[in-house]
Amino acid sequence: MPSLQYRTLFICMLAALPCAVAQADELRSTLQDQRSVAVTIYNENLALVKDQRKIQFASGQNTLAFRDVSARMRPETALLRSLTNPGKLSVIEQNFDFDLLTPQKLLDKYVGKSVSIVRTNPATGAETTEQAQVLAANNGVVMKIGDRIETGIPGRIVYPDVPDNLRDRPTLVMSLNNGGAAQQEVELSYLTGGLAWKADYVAELSAADDRLDLSGWVTLTNTSGTSYNNARLQLVAGDVNQVRGEMRYARRDKAEVMASAPAMANRMAEESLMEYHLYTLDRPTTIAENQTKQVSLLTATNVPVRKELLLRGADYYYQSSYGDLGQKMKVGVFVEFDNKEASHLGMPLPKGVVRVYKRDGAGNAQFVGEDNIDHTPKNEKVRLKLGEAFDVTADKKQTDFKRLPNPAKGNALFESAYEIVLKNAKKDAVTVTVQEPIPADWKMLSESQLHEKASSNTAVWHVTVPAEGSATLSYRVQVRY
């Protein structure tokens, strides 16, 4: 009869083989069988995976364990088809096993069942084995050993086997019927969470703030629970509608994201896809599990840019008396450029963050602001707010206000006057755009310089402020509600 040592060793070896007995009759497909994989990633934490593998089937009924799928798979979207014998491979039933094997999960599965407890005598090194029943595994372990109850783990736990529904890798188990060849190339396609992408842009302004160089990067993040080796990568930019109530997929614990250094690559090819835009990387790339990586999207140089200093008002003070409206008011700094071929661009830009830099007197690039852009089609403008001007400020006050007799029943008529003093501490003259949103039905009665009516409720002035000096804009307006 085998000794206790050999029996214990045998039990431990058996436990180390995941589902060795229970799954002996199933076909197991791993990444070793993979011939190619294609990944299309959308903006809203959604991806379409197409995994092609070569698998040896038996004739008739088969149980296939398709390993190394995404742990964030939406199993209701999974579709297996044969590329070798289309229509000859039919799936009867499928189960998604995403409950991964860990010591705690294994212990949880054995609540109410028997395990072996192996203890080692610290003095002699001799081992003894007792049978125990796991009573509970929440916030600690409770076991019944013989006629006593013990808490905690009193020794090394040896399990007789691994439950069928615990896997070391996320696995889609399919019962299928094969009426075709023994060896077939199959494709499993499915939607999954855990794969995301975003665009990031880096722009460098010229010394005169009239040109910029722009680089675009795509940042990929993979927390789906598996790797995609040498994948054909495509990205969809646009807001794809999803039925939120149906998005029930397995969620893993948040994994640490490891960043890889960006490497230069050719820009992505772009094409229209329905009402969206599709970007295709011209080479395979590996998206490793728990990794963030960057690939090049675009590069443009010498793009014409327009800088604007903007003071924007409000519409609340045109129907009441307010007096002082602000001292040392901030003036916003904006840059704007055209996404056109004539401007060395002309490619649909996915939404993302644009970070802007400018070189100082020593030639070092310094960060001067960032802003978000939405999906921007070709031939549209890109407008970025970089911050607030330090040397350009404004003092604003209401110099007059009166309520006029109502011109008609239900109407109210107001007249008010304003003075805006713009100050410039820079050694160069600047032009400040003053934008006033004037409500209701209005007309300008007088002004120190002519305005532009940018829209039905907006008056705009472009005021030149001399170097280390000031300029005053005054106007009187009548508003009817």
Q: Residue 392 sits in a domain of what CATH number?
A: 2.60.40
- pLDDT surpasses 90 at 265: no
Confidence of residue 39 (pLDDT cuts 50, 70, 90): very high
pLDDT at residue 56 in the model: 93
Cβ count within 10 A of residue 313: 21
- Token code pair at residue 11: 């039990």
pLDDT at residue 267 in the model: 57
Same domain, 327 and 419: yes
Same domain, 124 and 177: no
Mean pLDDT value across the chain: 86
pLDDT at residue 249 in the model: 41
**Do residues 428 and 440 lie in contact, with contact meaning Cβ atoms separated by under 8 Å?**
no
Cβ count within 10 A of residue 114: 13
pLDDT at residue 3 in the model: 42
Same domain, 396 and 454: yes
212: in domain: no
pLDDT at residue 122 in the model: 84
- pLDDT surpasses 70 at 251: no
pLDDT at residue 159 in the model: 86
Same domain, 38 and 16: yes
- pLDDT surpasses 70 at 428: yes
Confidence of residue 263 (pLDDT cuts 50, 70, 90): very low
Cβ density class 13-31: b for 16+ within 10 Å, e for less: eebeebbeeebeebbebee
DSSP string for residues in 95-156 = EEE--B--HHHHHHHTBTSEEEEEEE-TTT--EEEEEEEEEE-SSS-EEEETTEEEES--SE
Residue with more model confidence, 464 or 7: 464
Same domain, 81 and 121: no
Contact partners, residue 182, CB within 8 Å, separation at least 6: 56, 57, 58, 59
3-state secondary structure of 15: helix
Same domain, 30 and 71: yes
- pLDDT surpasses 80 at 100: no
Give me the domain span that covers residue 314: 306-336+385-480
Same domain, 10 and 118: no
pLDDT at residue 309 in the model: 97
Could you read off the pLDDT of 54-74 as tens digits, one per residue? 999 999 999 999 999 998 999
pLDDT at residue 272 in the model: 67
375: in domain: no
Please state the domain count of the chain: 3
Confidence of residue 7 (pLDDT cuts 50, 70, 90): very low
- pLDDT surpasses 90 at 178: yes
- pLDDT surpasses 60 at 113: yes
Same domain, 412 and 321: yes
231: in domain: no
Nearest to 418 by CA among 444, 452, 386: 444
Same domain, 394 and 330: yes
Min mean pLDDT across 17-26, 200-209, 373-382, 389-398 is at 17-26
184: in domain: yes
136: in domain: yes
Same domain, 139 and 188: no
Same domain, 74 and 27: yes
- Within 314-425, strands assigned E span 324-338, 352-359, 365-373, 381-404, 413-424
Share of the chain above pLDDT 90, in %: 61
Confidence of residue 387 (pLDDT cuts 50, 70, 90): very high
424: in domain: yes
Same domain, 320 and 456: yes
456: in domain: yes
262: in domain: no
